[in-house]
Amino acid sequence: MIHRHDVIIVGAGLAGSRAAVEIGQTANVAVLSKVYPSRSHSGAAQGGVAASLANESKTDRWEYHMYDTVKGSDYLGDQDAIELMVREAPETVIEMEHWGCPFSRTPEGLIAQRKFGGHTLDYGKEAALRSCYSYDYTGHVLLHTLHEQCLKHGVHFYSEFQVLSLIFRDNRAIGVVAWDIVNGGLHTFYGRAVMFGTGGYGRAFKITSNAHANTGDGLSQVIRAGLPVQDMEFVQFHPTGLWKSGILVTEGARGEGGYLLNGEKRRFMEDYAPTLMELAPRDVVARSMQTEIDEGRGIDGKNYVFIDVSHLGEAKLKERLPQITELAMNFAGVDPVKEPIPIQPTAHYSMGGIPANANCRVTYDAKRSETVGFYAGGECSCISVHGANRLGTNSLLEALLFGRRAGKQIVEDLSHLEFPELPADYEDAATEEVERTMAKDGEEKAATLRAELQETMMMDCGVFRSRGQLEKQRDKVEELEERYKNIRVEDKGTRFNTDMLEAIELGHLIEFSGAIVEGALQREESRGGHARKDFPKRDDVKFLKHTLAWREPNGKWKLTFEKDVVLKGITHPGFEPKERVY
Ligand SMILES: Cc1cc2nc3c(=O)[nH]c(=O)nc-3n(C[C@H](O)[C@H](O)[C@H](O)COP(=O)(O)OP(=O)(O)OC[C@H]3O[C@@H](n4cnc5c(N)ncnc54)[C@H](O)[C@@H]3O)c2cc1C
């Protein structure tokens, strides 16, 4: 079946939904999502969304937010895009308030704001209250507010449609081909513009805070269309994931006074960050924890340490950290009022993604040449506002703000974008993928291959990396790709065939994991979320560059370090890009 709309958006998280609100007011827009829209991972965000509203920290300014973001990115963020983001943040949040988003309030009735790691006043002098929040359900309320606005503006939702391929010809995005999860069968959607808001790729790792749907499908489809992906080696590991499941224990737990203990029952952060202790930046805490675990000082020598919040007392835990109290009980079997919670670093946020400029147009080379009719925003994109490491609360902002910018740009571009012709072979790639997957009758199980991929990515391409580990992991990914050809899909039906769809997702995971490993291997430095044991220092001379990775027809990865970082704007004397701050 063929569907025609002015604009096709893949993804109903904050990025896709926000763009749809903008476009729905003047054009015919369709949003496809493989999960029900309000189940997108955006809804799991707890902490908040950053904007220098100065409701609580009265002297806050966008310049401080910009400085923090550039510094947090370990100088790899493009400063033109960062400047746009921090300048437009207040109006983006206030617009959500005007649409009815129930933010928590100050006593005077303004949007309440709280502290978050790395956000400061006066260029690093003191902590800023910059994160706008709604209890610990910020993502949930933002997503629901946007969904209401989408309905108001007549956005067409295609829920539980899983996109399998991007139709991209002669530098132009034409549409996508999707599988109807409920009824089975392929549907083609084409339009004058296509936007991807497909979210992050944390599911490539065994321990992750990400939802099951975050399998980086959009990235693999872009790679298969012959386009590059950018900075894929940068994955943020959040220090406090529940042991085994990786479910997030919010940074707020440490903010409220929770502390970390190793197997010797010692607050080991005093060895790594004696001043900031547990409130050191996320990547520093994650690396400290991993070092303790690797050197045998985990609890009982195992791969976890403790976060202890029991001294805060039952009343405070109930009031301030109700969600994590419940999560610890349900998923780790411990009552945080009485005992410490077992935790380990968890893959949390994907800094890399589809290269795009600040107007969300997808670009395809080091000169930032633009594709036509193709846009990306939110976590799947690499614009790049987070560079090598993202600050907490900057990604809900990114998704909202660049969703908004993408929407505005698309509306403007529709004035000259005509409906493209569907090429004769528009459905071939998806048909071939479904037929190939359904016919699979081999000996390998998708679940086994996925577990092997996730386990080895965690071990050899995780918090710490080294040449030996990465070369081993490159071979592993190649081996898994070979074995993937020989998997068996048991369910041969059409309705809710999760067996087939998960096998297809596994193909995506394997595909883009190759880019993560290759980037990590060739980036011989440590920066932000990427820590090489054999190259522990940042190397600005060689690597103050974005990575672009293409898959060649022979399956090998081609990488360049030719894309310059945009450095501009910050004139504060304390700002010195050559100096590592952490
Ligand atoms: C547990 C957790 C807590 C977080 N807390 C915070 C926080 O407090 N503050 C903050 O700033 N950030 C936080 N983040 C990060 C932030 O939530 C995300 O970066 C952001 O919400 C991503 O939004 P998005 O619109 O890009 O993608 P998502 O919300 O992930 O949505 C992706 C969409 O793409 C769709 N999709 C994907 N593939 C396909 C396909 N093949 N076919 C059809 N549809 C597809 C999905 O169905 C979904 O609708 C948190 C993340 C996690 C995991």
SS (H, E, C) 55-74: CCCCCCCHHHHHHHHHHHCC
Q: Which of the residues 203, 282, 450, 532 is marked catalytic?
A: 282
Cα separation, 111 vs 94, in Å, equals 9
pLDDT at 578 over 60: no
| pTM (2 d.p.) | 0.95
Where b means 16+ CB within 10 Å and e means fewer, 96-131 reads beeeebebbeeeeeebbbbbbbbbbbebbeebbbbb
Token pair of 164 as six digits: 């399998």
Distance 42 CA to ligand 1 centre (A): 4
The pLDDT of residue 47: 85
Token pair of 125 as six digits: 């002098």
Higher model confidence: residue 568 or residue 105? 105
The pLDDT of residue 320: 75
pLDDT at 577 over 90: no
Distance 471 CA to ligand 1 centre (A): 30
The pLDDT of residue 550: 97
One-letter identity of residue 166: L
Cα separation, 246 vs 348, in Å, equals 9
Write out pLDDT tens, residues 192-244.
999 999 999 999 999 999 999 999 999 999 999 999 999 999 999 999 999 99
Q: Considering all CA atoms of the chain, what is the largest pairwise distance in Å, rounded to the nearest integer? A: 67
Identify whether the C-beta of residue 62 lies closer than 8 Å to the C-beta of residue 87: yes
Cα separation, 429 vs 434, in Å, equals 9
Cα separation, 218 vs 33, in Å, equals 12
Identify whether the C-beta of residue 463 lies closer than 8 Å to the C-beta of residue 531: yes
The pLDDT of residue 570: 56
Taking alpha carbons only, the member of 121, 119, 62, 71 closest to residue 401 is 62
Residue nearest to atom 44 of ligand 1 (CA): 33
Look up tokens 């437009």; give the residue.
88
Write out pLDDT tens, residues 201-210.
999 999 999 9
Residue nearest to atom 26 of ligand 1 (CA): 378
Q: Which residues pair with 350 in a beta bridge?
A: 235
Mean pLDDT over 57-75 rounds to 92
One-letter identity of residue 567: L
Distance 18 CA to ligand 1 centre (A): 13
pLDDT at 424 over 60: yes
Residue 478, H or E segment: helix 467-484
Mean pLDDT over 520-540 rounds to 95
Q: Which residues pair with 121 in a beta bridge?
A: 126
Look up tokens 């530098």; give the residue.
171
Instruction: Grade residue 551 by pLDDT with cuts at 50, 70 and 90.
Output: very high
Handedness of CA 57, 59, 60, 64 (dihedral sign): negative
Token pair of 413 as six digits: 């571009």
Q: Which residues line ligand 1 (CB under 6 A)?
A: 10-16, 32-35, 40-42, 44-49, 138-139, 162-163, 197-200, 209-210, 213-214, 217-218, 248, 349, 378-380, 393-396, 399
Q: Does the annotation count 39 as an active-site position?
A: no
Distance 201 CA to ligand 1 centre (A): 10
The pLDDT of residue 41: 97
Write out pLDDT tens, residues 332-366.
999 999 999 999 999 999 999 999 999 999 999 99
The pLDDT of residue 580: 33
Residue nearest to atom 5 of ligand 1 (CA): 45
Residue nearest to atom 53 of ligand 1 (CA): 210
Distance 40 CA to ligand 1 centre (A): 6
Token pair of 271 as six digits: 């060895």
Residue nearest to atom 51 of ligand 1 (CA): 45
Write out pLDDT tens, residues 465-524.
999 999 999 999 999 999 999 999 999 999 999 999 999 999 999 999 999 999 999 999
pLDDT at 285 over 60: yes
